[in-house]
Structure 1
């Protein structure tokens, strides 16, 4: 609002203001007049240099600022329209009972921003607390908090002080009613409603306040005004500075407490102050950190088991018969392998992959099967215990009778703007905007086509990376597999590993690029669908983003795990991609090591990149914004200006946090059989992630509007789907990507050495090919004296009548693989169902606590109404008891007569 608009408003209310005597002790009915008297006398009564820059009050130092709106003078052609909208909007806000105080642009740091400070007086708070069904304390709870178990004393160093962990006592609560105010524990009206409830109430009013009629339609809501740049921002204030406690008369600075006990990286081993997070940011953000913390705690057990499996592989690496035979100059050194590409590639000795075979054993050993089964059970326990944690949280945070947050169900301004039809709502019996299905179908088709196109683009980029690997493989092979390889040189950087490393890095870069552009496009096409409510918008965006992320991050891992090396053919009859490039082969020890490499690079790279981005991006933006804003350094740079220069968390900020966590959950569960250290990497990342998120919320972002949620929503269904899929993927990885099943088949069915059953396995797993059978276009250009070469497969030798056809051992191995998949899936799913049946969704003690609280609440309400009735009847307790007894006797007499 400009100076002219301000004067016009003051003129309208001037007569009323002159009749009132200013006083800080005036009644609630005169609050709005007192506010305007401040505006008139600001030049004479208020000295700017006497106000603290950390003050969160109006100029009187009494009324707390619950919300702030900001705007700048717009010199464009719609400046008058915006000014008129602001004038009408602020007038209607005053009509609802809110009190406004305007800071002129001349007093701002940048010299161009107006600030509208909003205060909700007591009458407004009690009215809308009843409308929103906010639960408030009626009596301190007599239910003791859960006692620490003996093992919890060992965890003493990770515990927070009780004053931080439980900042407020537990209460029996009831939905607030302004007609029952005596029932509630109101010691001080100024502090009865916490700041999170206050800003939630004010935002509820702002989102429904009209600002005029345009095109015959009533326009309302702060979101529409923000979208049209009528206001530049709308936000609640932080309690104070995060690096120092607040000074009187400011209330307790919960932001400082959170920063000291939650957002510092030196507290990485400490538990989170979850109740304090909920009180400050609201239940929706609070439950995200509960989920992230619980997921991190559960990852600890998976990480310990995974690390133990890795250590087992490390200790048994030197005693592994397969790698010993490969490295032996008399065994692996005498085995001449067939070329890995046509013409350019030369023959090579098996022992050149000595180090690679040892490294492969770290992740491809007997513990792989155990860990795959363990993770199938772990994911079930995680989801079942999360149900219990969520149920406990619903009780502790008064969300048992939770109804969907109103602001999520309200109509989006974009939906109303695009709607040309209206129809009667069967529930509210009111006419509301309506969009027929036929008008949405074109946008749905465009949305589906766009998602399909981008998912196809991901697959295309993956194929391009495969082509890159195939095209550069010959270069690496000709460089590394020269005559030196025939002289028994042992090298870790085999052509397969070298190409896999470079290909994985290139694939990761492509993933980040595609993800960056798709985030923008998915948000755009979701808006084009014109969702009706914010909940529909978020659900639609979640589906698009998850489908794309799933294909983008996991497609290359699926290729390596289930397709690479499975359709190679054999020497003389290879399969070709696009009739030009020969299909990729796996290392003689299998493709598991390449899957491990792929998974490690993508998972680790994404986590490091994500944490750096989350920390640096808002920090750089805030630094630049403050640098531009501090043009008038002699000005106060007040609390609302400091928060204005912070980054906005945005309505989708939490969405991207969940998406990041769920994507990591996929890496930990879907392919964990190939990389037992994945849970450990995820654990380390999440410990850092919790503190990075805490730091950026408390220091780099404006305070978010508090909103409620009783669960993690649609993400829980996604987690269940991924958990079921992970059982199948890990079973197939062990069977088809790992080398464990062929080794077991050889051990039990084909070994001829009773004392050392695995002796001879390497020779048994390699088939023989006659060099003379090479077609001219595939044979190496340089002639050799070898008669035969070896390749990885189970086929008859060239001197057999069924030469180069699969032998009986191939079918035995295939049958063993299919049997293993069926048995493992059935065992894991049986255990999953048993665990899900045995573990109740709601713990028994929580059920008892809920019943106890409901009973006590009903009793307290009953006693309150009874006392009120007695007071209204004007009789004492004895007379009231006689009255009740008489009525009961009358009722008994009536029954006996009947």
Structure 2
């Protein structure tokens, strides 16, 4: 490390960016002879000593472990190649200034794993803090934190202690510069850089460190070594045990604080310690929990309104005019309905659906329209206020001037391995791997064909479930609609409801199975596309997974909402699927209750299954891994071994968390008109989800490498798209799936009873069919004494000259439905645009705070440079001011001349 020529060799090999080399070269000159001697004689200076199993330091108890690499001796093929790679890689890590300490496999509990502990000394940290543009404090902020409003005192039990919510004071910050170290508030070099910044810096070095030249190509980066199993894992250490605080000399155990104040189910009602999460896990994970918490808060308001609408339906259920008529033995009991399937099904009395009609009213009442419009406005407020929350977060977390991290643009090892061409990068002016488009086009076609095939498979499975429903409907009808159905029977479990329940459960099982296989296939396809960077890989996978899950989870709901019961025909001229099965009909009260059933089963089942899986899977896996690893209980079970036996969160861990949340958002917004309790279910799930995610991150997963992010990325665009689509879907659900519009048309245009306007609606909504007109293959096998039967539609009676053609009321209802869709969409979109225009993306107080901080930062930097110049020139303050004024006048004169 004392020889700067070593870094010049690396520069010639092109392993490190030019800027990194310049800093590292200057850093190497500043190292003391003592540190140089230490690196050379590392193995001889330290002996194996007994130490605490909770220690996060090297054997000397001074140098903190910032990162750990592990590997196992591989006696199979390529063992020598892997050993040579590790040797070269570790040698080059030492050249960059990192300090390494290796734990022999004989000291590990399993007796086969080597651990390479890595420490970043001060010189490395200050160098790469400048390279990465990390902002560090220069002065405590004089901007007061937002004051509590009067309602905040009501929410006192929800609040966390101030020292947990705000673990550190607010500071004015500036990008770190090692030439201005005196400017920064450095009290202790060991604690100046938080552990998240330290592991981020070390990972930056690891991801760019070379390990040799193979097949004429330069190889570098820890990710490639992990892919080739040269190392088995690479991870930063947790700073202590989650069940007890650390003892000196270990630093404050933030993991324990998080477990105590965040990752506990008994704290479900508490706010989250967001600053502490950000400090420990980094901004990328922090912003996910900010979004999940904000989404949960907004769901609270939607849940209250939805619950109020449900209670309204519950209270008005017994007074619903339609249900009263259906349940009345003299009205619904005298209406003989046409069979719901051919031959096997019998005639049935309308009042047999009495309880089902009452239950349908819970979700299909006057409040449905109000709630659909409310949710269209709610989703706009949700997205607009999220932009404000995100802007506030950017200021509070020093992300205002943040640009995408360089490691997000880092080339993937798989891309480099497959590339046979190189070209000059116009920006860096360096030769880099390049893959011509013509070599990737076949994989793009294959990828598109595979995704299309799987989405077709989803549609096929949905058709199979429909066929199942049609097949078993006759079975249910044969024993549920026997002679008893022609008596005065009032049952909730009608053949339609029974078929819908079993079909929905079967559909949910099929969804889980297809999703399980597609997750693995989509990851494989994306790798075959050979994306250039990790960012391209994640974007491609996001598109595939979202498209598939959108079709997988929502296709059944779209079918029930917009297709079921719409194209069945009428008695005597039914529509048949595959010329064999008659199309499904809706309940006499409409298909909304079946959509509600479908939505409830899929949404609730998915949330319960997801939370159980997230909690049990890592717990069981870690138990089994520890059980296998702890073969030598007399050995020290060290901190790096404990973390090694935890599950890895992985680079796509957050991806699946976002995907789960976005799919839930679709259930809450796309079909909420049919199920006002959806926001309440989502609220309960998210309250649990926050604590489950916190618990598994804190206790069951290795610590993730800290990385920055200033937004939720492409997911925000997906949310905007779903918000726009939700307005259309809810308008169509109210118009075509619920029974609201036909009732309103009857109320205002066809009712003849002034005192009870809705009296006679049921009779009006059912058409008459002459049983003698049944074709032989559709008529029930048993003959009855009835002359006519009723069916749900608006058609002329058999004695009319326009026999069985749609009557004028059908066209009036259709016109009303289309008018409602157009009016609702325009009203909601108008309100959406007005709200988007009225609500600024960045709150006014945040704009002022940003300006204040920039002004103060410039002033502090200016004063620092003036004082430095004063010291260098050895002049007094008046002379210095005069000197500065002369220089400023010269610059102004030159500017005006130009």
Q: TM-score, normalised by structure 2?
A: 0.95
CA pair 358-700 structure 1, distance change in 2 beyond 3 A: same
What's the offset of the Cα at 1:879?
A: 3.5
Distance 1:559 1:14 in 2: 57
CA contact (8 A) 2:135 2:174 kept: yes
Give 5+ residue unaligned stretches, structure 1. Answer: none
Contact 1:411 1:533 in 2 (8 A): yes
Q: Provide, for residues 297-353 of structure 1, a one-character-per-residue CA deviation record: whole Å limited to 9, x for no partner.
A: 000000000000000000000000100110111110110000000000000000000
Cα offsets for 1:648-686 (capped at 9, x unmatched): 000000000000000000000000000000000000000
2:2–2:28 contact (8 Å) kept in structure 1: no
- SS of the residue corresponding to residue 241 of structure 2 reads coil
Task: Sort the Cα spacing of 1:631 and 1:10 in 2 relative to 1 into closer, same or farther, 3 A.
Answer: farther
The answer as to whether partners of 2:258 and 2:698 remain within 8 angstroms in 1 is yes
Give how far 1:47 is off.
Answer: 7.0
Does the C-alpha gap of structure 1 residues 669 and 777 become closer, same or farther in structure 2, counting only changes over 3 Å? same
TM-aligned CA distance change 1:634 to 1:325, over 3 Å: same
Alignment RMSD: 4.6
C-alpha contact (below 8 Å) 1:35/1:101 kept by paired residues: no
Label 1:16 to 1:508 Cα distance change in 2 as closer, same or farther (>3 A): closer
Number of residue pairs matched? Answer: 897
**Residues 887 and 775 of structure 1, relative CA distance in 2, 3 Å threshold:** closer
**Any residues of structure 2 matched to 1:428-443 within 5 Å, and which?**
428-443=428-443
**Alpha-carbon offset, residue 489 of structure 1:** 1.1
* Aligned CA distance change for structure 1 residues 300 and 626 (closer, same or farther; 3 Å): same
- 1:50 is displaced (CA, Å) by 2.9
> Any idea what the Cα deviations from partners look like across 1:422-452, whole Å, max 9, x if unmatched?
1111111111111110000000000000000
Asked whether the equivalents of residues 353 and 491 of structure 1 are also in contact (C-alpha less than 8 Å), the reply is yes
Displacement after TM superposition at 1:527 (Å): 0.4
1:118 positional shift? 0.1
Residues 1:312 and 1:489: Cα distance change in structure 2 (over 3 Å): same
Q: Superposed, which structure 2 residues align to 1:47-446 within 5 Å?
A: 50-446=50-446
CA contact 1:262–1:273 (8 Å) conserved in 2: yes
C-alpha spacing 1:8/1:448, structure 2 compared with 1 (3 Å): closer
| CA 1:738–1:21: 2 relative to 1, 3 Å | closer
CA shift in 2, pair 1:2/1:204, >3 Å: closer
TM-score (norm 1): 0.95
CA contact (8 A) 1:49 1:636 kept: no
The CA distance in 1 between the partners of 2:718 and 2:225, in whole Å, is 35
- Equivalent-residue separation in structure 1 for 2:181 and 2:889 (angstroms): 35
Hey, what's the Cα distance between the residues in 2 that align with 1:263 and 1:894?
A: 62
Unaligned stretches of 5+ in structure 2?
none
Q: Which range moved further: 872-881 or 623-632?
A: 872-881
The answer (yes or no) to whether the contact 2:16–2:208 under 8 Å persists in 1 is no
Q: Distance in 1 between the 2:467 and 2:18 partners?
A: 82
Q: Conserved in 2, the CA contact under 8 Å of 1:35 and 1:100?
A: no
Bigger Cα displacement from structure 2, 399-408 vs 661-670? 399-408
Distance 1:355 1:126 in 2: 73
SS of aligned partner of 1:49: coil
Tell me if the contact between 2:473 and 2:496 (Cα under 8 Å) persists in the aligned partners.
yes
Q: After superposition, what is the alpha-carbon deviation per residue over 1:55-112, rounded to whole angstroms, capped at 9, x for unaligned? A: 0000011100000000000001200000000000000000000000000000001000
CA contact (8 A) 1:589 1:739 kept: yes
Q: 1:371-412, CA deviations, whole angstroms, 9 ceiling, x for partnerless residues?
A: 000000000000000000000000000000001011111111
Q: Distance in 1 between matches of 2:177 and 2:23?
A: 31
Question: Is contact 2:2–2:31 with CA below 8 Å preserved after alignment?
Answer: no
Q: 1:13 to 1:650 in 2, by over 3 A?
A: closer
Aligned pairs (5 A) from 1:442-841: 442-841=442-841
CA 14–224 in structure 1, closer or farther in 2 if over 3 Å, else same: closer
Shift of 1:874: 1.3
Task: Report the alpha carbon displacement of residue 880 of structure 1 after superposing the two structures with TM.
Answer: 2.6
Q: For the residues of structure 2 that align with 1:715 and 1:634, how far apart are their CA atoms?
A: 49
CA shift at 1:881, angstroms?
Answer: 3.8
On the 8 A contact 1:17/1:36 being kept in 2, the answer is no
**In structure 2, what is the Cα distance between the partners aligned to 1:807 and 1:132?**
73
Q: CA deviation at 1:877?
A: 2.0
**Offset of 1:875 from its aligned partner?**
1.6
Give, in angstroms, the shift of residue 42 of structure 1: 9.1
Tell me the secondary structure at the aligned position of residue 71 of structure 1.
strand
Conserved? CA contact 1:32–1:94, under 8 Å: no
Distance 1:25 1:645, change over 3 A: farther
- Residues 488, 410 of structure 1: alpha-carbon distance in 2 compared, 3 angstrom cutoff: same
Do the aligned residues in 1 keep the contact of 2:421 with 2:434 (CA within 8 Å)? yes
Shift of 1:362: 0.1
In 2, Cα distance between equivalents of 1:505 and 1:678: 18
* Inter-CA distance 3–778: structure 2 relative to 1 (3 Å threshold): farther
Q: How far apart are the structure 2 equivalents of 1:96 and 1:309?
A: 64
Q: Return closer, same or farther for 1:532/1:632 CA change in 2, 3 Å cut-off.
A: same
Once the two structures are superposed, what CA deviation does each residue of 1:279-303 show, in whole Å capped at 9, x if it has no partner? 0000000000000000000000000
CA distance in 1, matches of 2:755, 2:382: 43
Could you give the per-residue CA deviations for residues 801-856 of structure 1, whole angstroms, max 9, x where no partner exists?
11100000000000000000000000000000000000000000000000000111
Q: 1:870 to 1:25 in 2, by over 3 A?
A: closer
Contact 1:10 1:36 in 2 (8 A): no
Evaluate the alpha carbon distance shift between residue 178 and residue 817 of structure 1 in structure 2; reply closer, same or farther with a 3 A threshold. same
Q: Is the 8 A contact 1:562 1:733 kept in 2?
A: yes
- The answer (yes or no) to whether the contact 1:408–1:533 under 8 Å persists in 2 is yes
8 Å Cα contact 1:323/1:357 also seen in 2: yes
Q: Deviations over 1:459-509 (max 9, x none)?
A: 000000000000000000011000011111111110000000000000000
Shift of 1:876: 2.2
Distance 1:346 1:9, change over 3 A: same
